[in-house]
Amino acid sequence: MDWQGCDLVETIPGKQDGVPLVKGTRIPAQQIVEEYELGSPLEEIAENYPSITRKTICALISFADKLNSQPVP
């Protein structure tokens, strides 16, 4: 997934092998989205990642959903 354009995600060369991370954490953004897609409730995801606010979790999921729903040219 292309996380460019999402202000909540950063990629730092050498940190977690350059994987896009939730800003200020070592948590891969894609991991949050995958857990949601696999059926984890928002409350559970927020509990598993206390350093990320529920608002941020929702925004990440929304960003990914918008990307996935765009038609491929």
The CA dihedral of 30, 63, 12, 42, to the nearest 10 degrees, is -50
Domain that residue 44 falls in: 9-69
In a domain, 58, yes or no: yes
Domain count, the chain: 1
In a domain, 3, yes or no: no
In a domain, 4, yes or no: no
pLDDT (average), residues 38-53: 96
Computed over every residue of the chain, the mean pLDDT equals 92
Asked if residue 67 has pLDDT above 90, the reply is no
What is the per-residue pLDDT for 71? 60
Closest CA to 3 of 73, 69, 71, 61: 61
CATH code (residue 26): 1.10.10.10
Asked if residue 72 has pLDDT above 70, the reply is no
19-32 confidence digits (pLDDT tens):
999 999 999 999 99
Asked if residue 56 has pLDDT above 60, the reply is yes
User: Distance between CA atoms of 16 and 62, rounded to whole angstroms?
Assistant: 24
Q: How confident is the model at residue 11 (pLDDT cuts 50, 70, 90)?
A: very high
